């Protein structure tokens, strides 16, 4: 605003002068934040990977809304064939970073499957997954379900009702097979948690047998997310655990029934993260900060004003370069509804959460939970002290980088001070949001493991396919 304009405003009568000065102040703040100098990034041309799932949304929104550009970054988003290829390409440097399964940086760091130091300073979302069963399995399972006054099944649907169905298949000589997306995926651990809570053993891993099917009642195997519906339709698997839109796709195609969402298994569970190698983060600290800033803004946009932007987000995600699924299918979960059995639509307002509930903050306690599940099912073969869980979480999760990015956004007027957990020690309070009612305290991982009826605990290990020790 020039001196002449300010002088003319001051000469106005009091009431319009006050209004104009207020408007001018607002404009100045807006322009000031919009014109804040971007960080002097070390690398401004970036290639980021993702899998075609709705929870890649922060990346798509940061690109479409110019948030990357605001930070001085030119970003190419590139879909990947599967989670293994994605991780390998980040480790090799072909990708600068990627939308990752929360367990991938942890699994790589402890050397399960791949050995590499991968870190995350940004959690991409909460919830977003479901478990779908074939129509045949659903019909066999329905008589075992409690029903409401309207005749519809009461939710959450527990795996107890699936247990006799698995026994029927076994009696018919059919192994009960289910798909999940990756051995260290949230989907694997959520499916295992749900099955085990219903008394079904989903199987163990061992150093000499990484099938994850030792002593299993249900045989879980890896299937890439976009291939889930076709694999179910072909009868190769009888159910699967996956993110959207591939559960709702089964409903639309009439080939399966989503029986439970992950928010019913573990309320407001962390799902994906944005991962880079430790070496890349050390070499490009300002670029890393700039990326986290842009992603925080995208997450805020996705959740702001009670999800008012979700309809626009659905149109963006439906583009072939992002998720590439039918907009109606994506909209089911992204706009707060979820269809279980065809015609049974229910409100699930928190199915996809991107910013509220501190969704983007990388909590150590989230990392520790994943590590407990790795230990529970034998991916971590030997007992570890509680201190190991904390130390490993701190190697991978980087809340200090997240808070530095958040502070810059607040100073630029692009975010609110109250929206970030500045004083957190990285651990959430006691979590009682699990389907089996077992509370989780991230500070006491070994105590937590002793409470879980199926799974390794204490000094137990697998030898020759048998549990030994105690």
The 3-state DSSP class for residue 292 equals helix
- Mark the ranges of the chain whose per-residue pLDDT is less than 50: 1-34
Say which DSSP state 199 is in. T
Give the E-state strand segments of 68-160 in sequence order: 74-79, 97-101, 118-123, 126-127, 129-134
Q: What local confidence, expressed as pLDDT, does residue 38 receive? A: 85
**What size, in residues, is the chain?**
470
Shortest CA distance to 219 belongs to which of 256, 255, 174, 258? 174
Nearest-angstrom CA–CA distance, 398 and 120: 6
Give the E-state strand segments of 207-265 in sequence order: 209-214, 219-222, 239-243, 256-261
Nearest-angstrom CA–CA distance, 464 and 147: 43
Q: What local confidence, expressed as pLDDT, does residue 366 receive? A: 98
The 3-state DSSP class for residue 306 equals helix
Cβ contacts of 358 within 8 Å, gap of 6 or more: 420, 421, 424
Q: What local confidence, expressed as pLDDT, does residue 226 receive? A: 87
Distances (CA, A) of 287 to 255, 299, 307: 45, 18, 29
Pairing of strands 177-180, 219-222: parallel
Helices first, then strands: H and E counts in the chain? 20, 18
Structure tokens at 47: 């290639």
Residue carrying the six token digits 């600290």: 285
Cβ contacts of 171 within 8 Å, gap of 6 or more: none
Shortest CA distance to 214 belongs to which of 402, 466, 23? 466
Residue carrying the six token digits 């307002």: 349
Nearest-angstrom CA–CA distance, 222 and 440: 27
| CA atoms within 13 Å, Cβ hemisphere of 17 | 9
Structure tokens at 137: 């399995």
First to last CA, the chain: 74
63-96 core/surface letters (b: 16 or more CB in 10 A; e: else)? bbbebbebbbbebebebbebbbebbebbbeeebb
* Bond prior to 245 in cis (omega within 30° of 0): yes
Q: H or E element: which one contains 366?
A: helix 364-376
Structure tokens at 372: 């407990």
Nearest-angstrom CA–CA distance, 435 and 438: 8
- Contact predicate 302/57, CB 8 Å: yes
Structure tokens at 179: 């798909």
Cβ contacts of 273 within 8 Å, gap of 6 or more: 100, 101, 102, 104, 105, 120, 122, 123, 124, 362
SS percent in the chain: helix, strand, coil, step 5: 45, 20, 35
Q: Which residues pair with 239 in a beta bridge?
A: 133
């Amino acid at each position: 605003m020039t001196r002449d304009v300010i002088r003319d405003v001051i000469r106005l009568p009091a009431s319009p002068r006050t209004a104009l000065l207020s408007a001018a102040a607002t404009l100045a703040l807006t322009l000031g934040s919009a014109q804040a100098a971007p960080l002097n990034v070390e690398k401004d041309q970036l290639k980021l990977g993702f899998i075609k799932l709705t929870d890649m949304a922060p990346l798509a929104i940061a690109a479409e809304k110019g948030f990357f550009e605001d930070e001085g970054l030119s970003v190419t988003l590139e879909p990947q064939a599967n989670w293994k290829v994605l991780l390998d390409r980040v480790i090799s440097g072909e990708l600068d970073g990627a939308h990752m399964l929360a367990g991938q940086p942890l699994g790589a760091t402890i050397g399960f499957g791949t050995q590499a130091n991968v870190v995350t300073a940004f959690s991409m979302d909460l919830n977003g997954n479901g478990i779908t069963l074939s129509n045949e399995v659903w019909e066999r399972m329905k008589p075992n379900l409690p029903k409401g006054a309207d005749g519809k099944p009461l939710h959450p649907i527990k795996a107890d009702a699936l247990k006799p169905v698995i026994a029927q298949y076994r009696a018919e000589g059919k192994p009960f097979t289910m798909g999940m997306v990756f051995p260290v995926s949230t989907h694997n651990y959520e499916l295992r948690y749900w099955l085990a809570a219903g008394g079904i053993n989903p199987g163990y891993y061992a150093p000499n047998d990484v099938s994850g099917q030792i002593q299993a009642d249900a045989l879980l195997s890896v299937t890439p997310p976009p291939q889930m519906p076709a694999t179910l339709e072909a009868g190769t698997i009888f159910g699967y655990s996956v993110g959207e839109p591939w559960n709702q796709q089964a409903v639309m195609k009439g080939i399966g029934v989503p029986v439970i969402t992950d928010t019913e298994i573990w309320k407001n569970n962390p799902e994906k993260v944005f991962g880079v190698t430790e070496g890349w983060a050390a070499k490009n600290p300002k670029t890393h900060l700039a990326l986290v800033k842009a992603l925080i803004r995208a997450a805020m946009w996705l959740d702001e004003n009670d999800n008012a932007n979700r309809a626009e987000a659905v149109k963006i995600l439906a583009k072939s370069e992002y998720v590439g699924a039918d907009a109606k299918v994506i909209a089911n979960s992204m706009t707060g509804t979820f269809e279980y059995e065809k015609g049974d639509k229910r409100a699930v307002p928190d199915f996809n959460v991107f910013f509220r509930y501190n969704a983007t903050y990388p909590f150590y306690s989230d990392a520790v939970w994943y590590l407990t599940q790795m230990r529970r099912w034998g991916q971590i073969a030997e007992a570890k002290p509680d201190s190991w869980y904390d130390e490993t979480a701190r190697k991978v999760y980087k809340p200090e980088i997240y808070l530095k990015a958040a502070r810059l956004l607040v100073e630029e007027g692009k975010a609110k001070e109250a929206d970030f957990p500045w004083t957190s020690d990285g651990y959430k309070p006691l979590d009682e949001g699990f389907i089996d009612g077992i509370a989780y305290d991230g500070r006491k991982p070994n105590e937590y493991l002793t409470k879980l009826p199926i799974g390794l605990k204490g000094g137990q290990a697998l030898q020759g396919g048998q549990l030994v020790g105690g």
